Structure 1
């Protein structure tokens, strides 16, 4: 069986990491040829292929400039995370040349695959699976709902776009997607119960089959390292308590909740603040955000998974203060390393973290409740160790690469048998 994972990038960003891990996990299955197709390739694996969007670089540059100008006109301040690419491309031809049995789409924005290109992919007559890493497939261009509920009906009056005349970009893209989806007939993968329920209510996606399957993780890489050893290797004090926070663009991306973390740390009781420091990865010291109210060490961007595992293992608690998440790879990584998680109950986090068993869940966006969760985990070492053991056990049972790969293989085989 030849399987193709399609994502804009093969590295950098949560969706790229998840898609690459699935590509890796499937490649370890017997009788499987696992491929990955991307717009831009960062790594050097021979099974990762660049899918050309156009046979002419000049033409593609012109189309990209037109697409950017179109979006700039509708969203001149650029504050909204909104993608709208309307032009056809040659990606379907590149996919056809690879001759996959299954086409598995992931995050396809940033001028990579338009609705018109999806129609051309549909014409290949291959089963299409699509993992929903954010809300772009639901909407007329937004990657996160926020408080908007227009996606339940039709994205006609997008609140994040400043201009709608002489054309309504959100409405145009919404209608283009509806037409493309009717031809593509994708099998959707929701990474969380929250997204699964949203698909059922979505005006665009509700006609199509949806399965709830998680992102995989390599539990042989993300595993507990003795805390004293991890701290020694990272140059950390052995007896200090460490609160870990990290994400892609950890400080710059407002959705990751750096400000909510700061508010939660300010609300910590004095007993929890004593001999406690913060560790931050995915950002560097000096970025334009207020300092955290505890001594803080910035670890920068950790590209190496072993270094990430050391950081999780060195910490007493990992905090995920995200406002919105489809899944949260960092939460899963921490749990795999046996480090309890304190987080807001958003996206896929409640599916992974069992409250008072492997971590603590706070009401979304409530920093005072998040502070209580952090304090609860820090209060007793024996409780923290029990939580870490429970976290590791659940990851090994439900999220390890071989476990998740078998679930996807069962889905792929079913789709092929129905052709």
Structure 2
């Protein structure tokens, strides 16, 4: 079986990482699986880069930049992800796709595949699978919906746009997708139950068949290290309770929930049951330390971590990983933390409950409740049986998200679709 995955970038971002991990899991089972990307940042020779000449690279950069910056002319908040999908590259004659048994789409924005060019893939008469790593496929342009329900009927009057109306750019994009999808047969994979539910509510794709198959993770890389030794690597005392979180984005990037984490930490620091001297905060992923907010605890800034092995040790050093996200599909950081046997505290939203089981391997706080987020951290801080939570965190990943578990589910789907093909 030959499977070709399509993604805009080579591992840059959550969707790219998920695509790479699935590809590796399939290859480990002897499947002829490969990845085609629109633009590669790295030097992975196993990835087919469509921007492999100076001319193609210039065209790709133009399309990527045009898509990103033209969107900013329409969108109110600069950090709001929104795709116009005006540009794209035709792939219907690419030999790798023509020779494939299954074509698997992932994240295809930023000038890779416009709706019109996407519809051309139907001419190849191959089973097409599309994993929805965010909401863009069934909206008029947004990737994060911010509780908007316009996609239930028809996008338009978009609250994200500077110039909003019944026939605004979101409505025009929605109509383009409607036309393209009517000419394209594809099967949807939702990484989480939340994403599947969202698709079922959409006017564009609500009647399509959906399989819920999570992303996977390298459980031989993201694994537990001895906590005291991991803390020593970060020059943190073994008796400290380490709270870890990803980079702190701008407060304007509302779906990241930064303000709720800051409030929760302040609430935690004010509680008499909590010994502030025993707590240390570790932040990774942000190089801009100067613009960091004030924290009530001693804080270590790790910056960007490029090596997964070192990242796994950082997760292992933590006693709790906090994700304050308000809308997320199946965040890699949660899966990585649990794989390293570190319990997760997060809001009960998106696909997070698919991974975090309340009071079993972490804590699910009430949505947008800074107080409950603080309650979760305090619960873990005072918990005398953290070892059981840590073991359950690791076990939950091995049982439900390990590479063979997830690749087997994809193979069953591929085989089912191939069996249904006209002979």
TM-score (structure 1 length as normaliser)? 0.93
Taking the aligned partners of 1:72 and 1:360, their CA distance within structure 2 comes to 37
2:242 matched to which residue of 1? 242
Which residues in structure 2 correspond to 1:155-194 (within 5 Å)?
Answer: 155-163=155-163, 168-194=168-194
Residue in structure 2 matching 1:309, options 290, 295, 312: 312
Offset, 1:89: 2.4
Which residue does 1:299 correspond to in 2? 302
Specify the alignment match of 1:391 in structure 2.
393
Partner of 1:385, secondary structure, is: helix
The aligned counterpart of 2:29 is 29
Q: Does residue 1:275 correspond to 2:275, yes or no?
A: no
2:6 counterpart of 1:6: yes
What CA distance in whole angstroms lies between the structure 2 residues aligned with 1:116 and 1:83? 14
Larger mean CA deviation between 16-25 and 61-70 belongs to 61-70
What's the CA shift for 1:94? 3.1
Q: What SS does the aligned partner of 1:184 have?
A: coil
After superposition, the CA RMSD in angstroms is 2.5
Structure 1 residues 307 and 283: alpha-carbon distance in aligned structure 2, compared to 1, 3 A threshold: same
The equivalent of 1:321 in structure 2 is 324
1:205 is aligned to 205
Task: Tell me if 1:216 matches 2:219.
Answer: no
Deviation for aligned residue 1:144: 0.8
* 152 and 225 in structure 1: CA distance in 2 versus 1, 3 angstrom threshold: same
Question: Does the CA contact (< 8 Å) of 1:250 and 1:281 recur in 2?
Answer: no
Unmatched tracts of structure 2, length 5 or more? none
Task: Name the SS of the counterpart of 1:123 in structure 2.
Answer: helix
Residues 135-179 of structure 1: per-residue CA shift (max 9 Å, x gap) = 111100001110211000001211111125896211111011111
Q: TM-score, normalized by length of structure 2?
A: 0.92
C-alpha separation in 1, matches of 2:399 and 2:405: 7
Q: 2:39–2:51: 8 Å Cα contact kept in structure 1?
A: no
Asked if 1:410 corresponds to 2:409, the answer is: no
Counterpart selection for 1:335 from 315, 338, 342? 338
Match of 2:122 in 1: 122
Residues 36-72 of structure 1: per-residue CA shift (max 9 Å, x gap): 1111113333331123599866766666676567534
Contact 2:106 2:132 in 1 (8 A): yes
Query: Residue 8 of structure 1 contacts residue 38 of structure 1 at CA under 8 Å; is this kept in 2?
Result: yes
| Shift in Å, 1:367 | 0.8
CA contact (8 A) 1:264 1:368 kept: yes
Structure 1 unmatched ranges of 5 or more:
none
